[in-house]
Structure 1
Amino acid sequence: MKLKALVTALCVASMPFAVNAESVVKQAQQEQSQQTQHNIQREAGFNHTQQTVKAQYDALVAERNKLKTATEVLSTTFSTNEQHLSTLEQQLRLESGSLGELFGVVRQTAKEVQAEQQHAVTAIDNSQDNAVVNDIVAAKALPSMVQLQGLWQAMTDQIVASGQIAKVTVPYINGDGEQSDVEALRLGSIGLVGDNGYLRWDGSQHVAMAYLQQPEHAPTLADYQQLVSKGNEMLVVDPSRGVMLEQLAQSPTLMDRLQAGGAVGKVILLLLAIGAGIAIFRGVKLAMIRQQIKAQLKQPSKPGNNPLGHILAVYNKEQSRSVEALELRLLEAIVDEQQGLEKGLSMLKLFAALAPMLGLLGTVTGMIETFQVITQFGNGDPKVMAGGISMALVTTVLGLVAAMPLLLAHNILSSQAENIRMILEKQGISLVAEQAEKNDQHGQPASVMTTEQAA
């Protein structure tokens, strides 16, 4: 009984668990069915995608095959065309012969004519053939007969224009930058002449300007018109088409060279001017003294206002003294006159020695400036260093130029003063000898000293 009751109790207790297990199984089966349907849908999507990709792949392969076929066809066509083109080029070279070289000559000639038409003064009133010439220059093929005739006509016009003297009106820019139309005379293809001389033609801007410096006796428009009106067509021109006139502005004048010497050069010129003034004044003075002495030698009895007259006056005044005293007095007078004769000569000698030293000073100063410029800007441009080098060279030249005439003047004037002094000494010695002879005649013995011994 107890066992049967126990079994019964266990069966009653296990009934809820059996119900739960059955529900779980049903739920699992339901979820498995849903998963199966989902997998079937995914497989269907994958199959559709695979079919789409395969279709696209097949289409691309077909397109590739098509392009490959077209490429092979084009490559074959290109090779065929290249061979055909090579054959045609060879045939063209054979048929053209020397026309290729002729084309090169024609283009070169056209370029020269084009440059002439654009930059020469003939472009002022002869530019109607520019289009034909420009077409020939830009052409890549052989020129046509019309173009060749146009080139021939352009060359003919240039030749004719180069021999003409024509009056033209050109735009002119003055020194203030103002532009105006002025009349000028075109001398062929060589140059232009305006009211103030030659004009520089700028072919790139088609304007005329004045040269920085005109040549000496530069012709003007009025001068040429006067020559032409007289029937004289022999005109003086610049055959270099302005190159020589432009170089003329680069040639410094004497004043430019003197200004390049700077302050040292001005000091040297001042010394030269002062020395020249002293030399001229003393030269004139010594020449007058020589003339006065010559006149005095003709009249020794009448002492005048000149060095020899002063010596004679001392002799007339000191005749009562002894020979020794007279000689000393005459020597004193000669020394006084010598100082007057040599007055200013020491200054000339000083200037002659000082001028080269100043020139050397200017040279050193100029080289210092040159080195400073090199330090700042380098030595790539010679024009930057030209100022200091010019000063260095010009001051050296000025120093030498000033020293040579001053030294020469000093030597000449010293020789003249020495000659006058010798005349005075000779006359003084003769006077002392005359006085000694007089004393001997009167029985008064006396010893006579020469001027050199007294000195």
Structure 2
Amino acid sequence: MKHPLITSALLGLMLAFTGTANAETTLAQKAQVENRAQQKHNSTRESLFNKTEAELKALRTELTKQRETLQKQNDALAATFSQNEDKLARLEEKLRLETGSLGEVFGVVRQNAKELQGELESSVTSAGSQSYTAIVDDIVAATKLPSLPQLTGLWNALDEQVKATGQVDETTIRFINGDGESQQVEAIRLGAFGLVSEQGYLAWDGQKQEARAYVKQPEKGPTAQSLQPVVDSQTLITVVDPSRGIMLEQLALTPSLMDRLQAGGVVGKIILGLLAIGLIIALFRGVSLFIARQKIRAQLKNPQTPGNNPLGRILAVYDPSKNRTVEALELRLLESVVDEQAHLERGLSMLKLLAALAPMLGLLGTVTGMIETFQVITQFGNGDPKVMAGGISMALVTTVLGLIAAMPLLLAHNILSSQAENIRNILEKQGIALVAEQAEKDLDANPSVGKAA
């Protein structure tokens, strides 16, 4: 009898072997099933791949055909493009050759139109003699060749302005008076040179279509009334401003004599005061010396009767009844000549002082004006010359006034000094003659004295 443990072990091994065999059989079956499923799946995928490959080959064939078609179209288009480029180049060259002269004409037309536009805006012909302004503006603003009507309008505008330049016409304009009031007045247009009303020349504003009177009118300037015969006869004989108002505007800016004197300031007024004083002195002394010369001439004709004049007073010193020596007579005559000389030269020293003082004051005004100019430059800079004009005007005007005052005063002093010197020479000559006469009398009275001498 076998041992029960061994029997149990054997049974266990048999059961295990049986279980393993059954498991292997099951796995093999599963593997076969999966293999058949895989083969079926592979067959399905292979058929799909074959179908897809066929479709792709067909698609590639179709795309290849399309590419060839498009390539042919592209080649055809490229050939057409090249032909068009050549044709366009030939046409552009032809257009350039045919429009080259027209382009130059267009440039000339625009240039003349711009010049005419500026003329129309500023000229007085806009007061009634401008009918083609719109056409000229269109030509200036155009970006293409002008049309034939525009060219004709430009020609008519030029012809109109040429004719208006030689016409003297009456027209009605809007006038702005000094109070700023607007009114319609009758005016006469002198070609393209100016407008004239009863106030004289008018400053015309072409943009606002209004006129104002100039601040200062030229001497013997025309008026509407004085030009009425000219309008009737179309013969212009009057004062015309060829600069079309520029000279008239400058005329208003031209300073008068009083404006120039005002620019001299206080120093200039002092110089003028010294000049006036000097001229009064010169005039007074000139009249006195002239009267004295006339009296001396009359006295020379009648020396025996001394009068109330310089020479008469010299002759009155000599008295034959008085027994004077030659030396005493000579001293008395010298005293009288010195007194007369002082009387004749009275005021001449003041005249000389004023003549020397005037240019010094002018120099003072110059320095003062330059100091003022530099102060203005320090405050406002030197960008605007107008801010420096006041100081420079004072500097120059005072210098001119000083020289103007000095020259006539020096000339008057020289003339008056020469006259006084001539009178003094006459007095000395007559005094010497009296001394000689007294010496001769003494010699005749005492011959021994003469012999002893």
Q: Give the 3 Å change call, closer, same or farther, for CA 445–374 of structure 1 in structure 2.
A: farther
2:375 is matched with 372
Q: In 2, are the aligned partners of 1:190 and 1:238 still within 8 Å (CA)? A: yes
Amino acid at match of 1:393: L
Q: In 1, are the aligned partners of 2:195 and 2:204 still within 8 Å (CA)? A: yes
Q: CA deviation at 1:396?
A: 0.9
Q: In 2, are the aligned partners of 1:436 and 1:446 still within 8 Å (CA)? A: no
2:353 is matched with 350
Q: In 1, are the aligned partners of 2:306 and 2:313 still within 8 Å (CA)? A: yes
The 2-side partners of 1:267 and 1:86 are apart by: 86
Q: Is the deviation greater in 138-147 or in 348-357?
A: 138-147
1:274 is matched with 277
2:434 is matched with 431
Amino acid at match of 1:325: A
2:197 is matched with 194
1:241 is matched with 244
User: Structure 1: which 5+ residue stretches go unaligned?
Assistant: 1-75, 448-455
Q: CA deviation at 1:355?
A: 0.5
Pick from 156, 179, 188: which aligns with 2:159? 156
1:410 is matched with 413
Give deviations 1:40-66, integer Å, cap 9, x for gaps. xxxxxxxxxxxxxxxxxxxxxxxxxxx
The 2-side partners of 1:318 and 1:394 are apart by: 65
Q: CA deviation at 1:105?
A: 1.5
Give deviations 1:333-371, integer Å, cap 9, x for gaps. 111111110010010010011001100100010001000
Q: In 1, are the aligned partners of 2:366 and 2:399 still within 8 Å (CA)? A: yes
Q: In 2, are the aligned partners of 1:164 and 1:187 still within 8 Å (CA)? A: yes
Q: CA deviation at 1:310?
A: 0.8
Taking only aligned residues, the RMSD between alpha carbons, in angstroms, comes to 2.7
Normalising by structure 1, what TM-score?
0.76
1:172 is matched with 175
Q: In 1, are the aligned partners of 2:201 and 2:222 still within 8 Å (CA)? A: yes
Pick from 284, 291, 294: which aligns with 1:288? 291
Q: In 1, are the aligned partners of 2:311 and 2:427 still within 8 Å (CA)? A: yes
The 2-side partners of 1:211 and 1:445 are apart by: 96
Taking only the aligned residue pairs, the percentage that are identical comes to: 67
Amino acid at match of 2:139: I
Q: In 2, are the aligned partners of 1:319 and 1:326 still within 8 Å (CA)? A: no
Amino acid at match of 2:101: S
Normalising by structure 2, what TM-score?
0.76
Give deviations 1:116-150, integer Å, cap 9, x for gaps. 22221111102322222222222222222222222
The 2-side partners of 1:119 and 1:374 are apart by: 37
Structure-to-structure mapping, 1:215-226, within 5 angstroms: 215-226=218-229
Amino acid at match of 2:443: D
Structure-to-structure mapping, 1:104-119, within 5 angstroms: 104-119=107-122
The 2-side partners of 1:274 and 1:438 are apart by: 50
* Number of residues of Structure 1 aligned to a counterpart in Structure 2: 372
The 2-side partners of 1:127 and 1:439 are apart by: 108
Pick from 301, 304, 315: which aligns with 1:301? 304
Amino acid at match of 2:122: H
Q: In 1, are the aligned partners of 2:201 and 2:213 still within 8 Å (CA)? A: yes
Pick from 101, 105, 109: which aligns with 1:102? 105
Q: What SS is found at the alignment partner of 2:260?
A: helix
Specify the structure having the higher radius of gyration (Cα).
2
Q: Is the deviation greater in 101-110 or in 293-302?
A: 101-110
Pick from 206, 209, 229: which aligns with 1:203? 206
Q: In 2, are the aligned partners of 1:199 and 1:211 still within 8 Å (CA)? A: yes
